[in-house]
Structure 1
């Protein structure tokens, strides 16, 4: 991908990429995690929501589907806007929409209204991805890898801790105050970011129409081999992640564990530890070299081998979760570093392509794992995870010989 700024780019007085303070980096990591958590609060609460809205658990399961659909639409149709709209303006709209949707969920009397709000919530939550790209642009070349890794670690920690927080808060005060509190938090986050990201007004924007932005996103995918390769890595990595986490509750609630939902939620803390450990991937200097990617894939394979051979013990499950999360999140950070090596003027469109593949892979992994669990149980799930990892290794073998895979 060319590093030359395209014609029509408009840059404010101060150029982007002059560097970020450690304080701002940690702030962006924290608020990105808080935003990302919004779409995961409901997942362990479907039974509670069903009873509260007088509907079946099967119908309440549509909450996850519409939220994911909304998020997918946001990745395709909203995230590219960040290349032609100032960062603070777009974030303000998305976070206020996020807060409104969360408030409607907390106040909804029936499931239909809640489903519409969850769809809007998913769409608006692409704000987290806007922040990742903004952090990459504000950082200078020397600190970009560590900055992106730190912010992504915050995002992943929010995703993983959301289930634990949702269970604890719901047990204390109920599920509706959880969502109303999250709405208030998004308003506070918006105020904080408007003050903290005043420097983002210097980020480059382009004089392009919305239709041209969407068309250029497709052209980026067609033109850049590194974007395509990293997008497939992302899809396979998140598929491997989802194969485990979509069936983990079923495994841990049955024999030989028989854990309660509250105890199962604590496993999210292990995932958060893995996400923080993935920060090491941000310190790898040669992130486009094949070796770091191979190490991340090897960790995923080892994790599923441990889960297959020792998954009937608590120690085996803990070790498997930690190794899996370090491998998956390490691969994701490496992918994002390659993606964010792109020209700043098109960075959000490149990220739109990558994240669309990423979450499509996760959705497919969850669907396949559910079918395999019903037919082959835990052993089948672990073999499926190993199969997904084998596909990623085939991709690695096919592309690593071509040298440094960078845009």
Structure 2
């Protein structure tokens, strides 16, 4: 394997474009969550049946991360993004016009599989940043991504309640056409850093997964944390539909807007590195994540308790997520897309597992079961960090 050292200057225009477009694209994966109740009513099926839509979207995202994102090290990234966006539009239109449940499942998987562009932008920002700007630049791109996740729920809840759930996916397809144009006209072309076959590229992904302890621990923490948050957001719509709330999709979606408070605060966590170590910042983030479940459980019958819990769960998860990425991007290698692949595949597999287990828990044990799932995931992340966080040392990387 050979590498070609090409590092264009990361200017503010490119950085902000990546942040904004990350939010627009990643939102595709989360529009469905506040709409599950509406979809269930439309197709006359049970809540657990439509929960598979969220699971398949996350599994699709994990597969896209595994098989597409590594190509960011091998091919021209702008070309890769433009081609991928065409498939995103197709998947969204299939979702909007599907008349059978199995087609919704297929569309959901491919929406996830194709909406992986933000995970090309994040390692791009890391690779092109100086050491002193890496955390803040990652934080900015992540801010756009996180706002896309959280505001997508708010937007889809409003649009779904007033214009129907299909309208949201039609709008999303239009937004992706606009994104394609912005990428075409304004994103600079970045050359690959990997010279080799696709097979050797994928082998190197597996090599990093097997040999980098710092990456392994970050991947586990991220998977457990995202599994915890997925548990609450997937089932929140069902919880709020019942007593004492009897809320519609727009109210459920507004919790995404509430969570944006925590996510925005998390975007500044990189600035705390001057006073605290990465270990301490991740410790604090996971601890907040764990504490959030106390509010979500004990405040389950009040908006105040749920609002505080949602703010804390977003703050805790996103703080630890940003610092996880800062941690493994410090591994001495140019293979940033492949490092990000290992982490984000694990992250969304954890999210898929959290979504699935929460749906099962909701069916058999209600909100208490969901809280048990989320607390367990958070505890596992905390325990792993305490036991192994100070002892992870990366080996010299190879691209």
Report if the CA contact (8 A) 1:372-1:381 is conserved: yes
Q: Please name the residue that 2:221 is paired with.
A: 233
SS in 2 for 1:41: coil
Matched, 1:118 2:112: no
**What is the TM-score normalised by the length of structure 1?**
0.88
Q: 1:303 to 1:175 in 2, by over 3 A?
A: closer
Q: What count of residue pairs does the alignment treat as equivalent? A: 394
What RMSD in Å do the two structures reach over aligned CA positions? 2.5
Distance 1:123 1:100 in 2: 12
Distance 2:65 2:221 in 1: 18
Report if the CA contact (8 A) 1:147-1:282 is conserved: no
1:150-299 counterparts in 2 under 5 A? 150-198=140-188, 200-201=189-190, 203-285=191-273, 289-299=278-288
Distance 1:95 1:344 in 2: 28
Instruction: Give the drift of 1:91.
Output: 0.5
- Mark the runs of 5 or more structure 1 residues left unpaired by the alignment: 1-6
Instruction: Give the drift of 1:146.
Output: 0.9
Instruction: Give the drift of 1:194.
Output: 2.8
- Mark the runs of 5 or more structure 2 residues left unpaired by the alignment: none
Instruction: Give the drift of 1:324.
Output: 1.3
Distance 1:113 1:250 in 2: 23
SS in 2 for 1:10: coil
Report if the CA contact (8 A) 1:204-1:344 is conserved: no
Q: 1:405 to 1:314 in 2, by over 3 A?
A: farther
Q: Please name the residue that 2:121 is paired with.
A: 131
Instruction: Give the drift of 1:180.
Output: 2.5
Instruction: Give the drift of 1:238.
Output: 0.7
Instruction: Give the drift of 1:42.
Output: 2.5
Distance 1:329 1:406 in 2: 26
Distance 2:354 2:266 in 1: 21
Distance 1:60 1:396 in 2: 34
Distance 2:235 2:39 in 1: 21
Candidates 382, 391, 395, aligned match of 1:402: 391
Instruction: Give the drift of 1:114.
Output: 4.3
Candidates 342, 365, 369, aligned match of 2:354: 365
Instruction: Give the drift of 1:60.
Output: 4.8
Q: 1:395 to 1:97 in 2, by over 3 A?
A: same
1:130-154, Cα deviation, whole Å (9 max, x unpaired): 1222222232222111111121121
Matched, 1:8 2:11: no
Candidates 305, 310, 314, aligned match of 1:321: 310
**What is the TM-score normalised by the length of structure 2?**
0.89
1:15-53, Cα deviation, whole Å (9 max, x unpaired): 34x4431x433332221111011122233334544666x
Matched, 1:32 2:26: no
